[in-house]
């Protein structure tokens, strides 16, 4: 029997830009991956100076979905994802070349419930790194340069490893 698709529930919180006060909270957003990510080590003897015996892993994520995004004043959002790898907060390692990897999804027009299917995002990271997923709104209607923050999830890569057995 095939394993069930991976699923993570996220709640986005909206803060006032100046005061930092909590303004609103969305219902849970479900991030789905129809195929469990495949984790593999990159070269058994590959280490970067200062990493000791830490090994980089390669993984892919796909099939994201968001539910109940906040509407703009006049329009539904035109959401897209910005996914990146950042060093962990308590990392003993300095910033490494793989930190700052960034991938962007396509823009899904005029919806509060976007689904990003058939897009795959591949990354290389240490287990101590953090995967950041931001949902942003592209103001394509009137001001194409402006982007609006809709929410963010930060998840340690180690948590993904714990959720999916290395095979």
Is the pLDDT at 4 greater than 50, yes or no?
no
Please give the DSSP secondary-structure letter assigned to residue 68: S
Q: What is the pLDDT of residue 11?
A: 63
Q: Are 83 and 64 in contact (CB under 8 A)?
A: no
Domain edges within the chain: 6-43+55-162
d(CA 20, CA 18): 6
Q: What is the pLDDT of residue 142?
A: 60
Q: What is the pLDDT of residue 146?
A: 63
Q: What is the pLDDT of residues 11-55, one digit of tens each?
A: 666 677 677 777 776 655 566 554 444 444 444 333 344 444 468
Q: What is the pLDDT of residue 133?
A: 94
Q: What is the pLDDT of residue 52?
A: 44
Q: pTM of the predicted model, to two decimals?
A: 0.65
Pick the CATH number of 6-43+55-162 from 3.10.20.740, 1.20.120.420, 1.20.1250.20, 2.60.40.150: 2.60.40.150
Q: What is the pLDDT of residues 85-137, one digit of tens each?
A: 999 877 666 678 888 899 999 999 999 999 999 999 999 999 889 999 999 98
**Lookup: tokens for 140:** 């394509």
């Amino acid at each position: 029997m095939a394993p069930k698709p991976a699923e993570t529930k996220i709640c986005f919180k909206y803060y006032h830009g100046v005061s930092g006060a909590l303004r609103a909270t969305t219902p849970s957003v479900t991030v789905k991956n129809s195929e469990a990510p495949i984790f593999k080590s990159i070269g058994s003897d590959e280490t970067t100076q200062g990493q000791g015996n830490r090994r980089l892993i390669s993984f892919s994520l796909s099939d994201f979905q968001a539910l109940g995004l906040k509407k703009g004043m006049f329009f539904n959002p035109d959401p897209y994802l910005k996914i990146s790898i950042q060093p962990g907060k308590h990392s003993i390692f300095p910033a490494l070349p793989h930190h700052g990897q960034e991938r962007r999804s396509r823009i899904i027009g005029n919806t509060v419930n976007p689904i990003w299917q058939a897009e795959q995002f591949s990354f290389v990271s240490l287990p101590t790194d953090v995967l950041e997923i931001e949902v942003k709104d592209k103001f394509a209607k009137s001001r194409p340069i402006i982007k609006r923050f809709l929410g963010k999830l930060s998840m340690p890569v180690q948590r993904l490893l714990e959720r999916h057995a290395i095979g």
